[in-house]
Amino acid sequence: NAGVTQTPKFRVLKTGQSMTLLCAQDMNHEYMYWYRQDPGMGLRLIHYSVGEGTTAKGEVPDGYNVSRLKKQNFLLGLESAAPSQTSVYFCASSSAGNYGYTFGSGTRLTVV
């Protein structure tokens, strides 16, 4: 049982480049989330999804887009990367009525 898998694990981008982070879960969870983690700031919600085909903005959505075309996958896109987007990105999922997130192992992104 893999749980939540994030790819890639590391990436270095140049300012202005684009990329997509992939999150896949095999637990049939309804809800999926993207967070960023920065030192001293805890985890901040970027976008979330309550089901296939639906997405919504979180606390810090600017500069990011998401898609959830399949229930098991949640993609996070950066259209034009900026140094301020240097961070560790975590995907998480949860099911209705079972409170508690399952996290992926993270993607460390550096924008130079």
- Site residues for other proteins per CB under 8 A: 4, 31, 35, 40-43, 48, 50, 90, 92, 94, 96, 99-106
The residue among 17 and 86 lying less far from other proteins, judged by its C-beta, is 86
The residue among 14 and 99 lying less far from other proteins, judged by its C-beta, is 99
Query: Minimum Å distance from CB 79 to other proteins?
Result: 25
Query: Minimum Å distance from CB 29 to other proteins?
Result: 11
For the beta carbon of residue 22, count every other beta carbon within 10 angstroms: 15
CB 77 within 8 A of CB 63: no
The residue among 24 and 92 lying less far from other proteins, judged by its C-beta, is 92
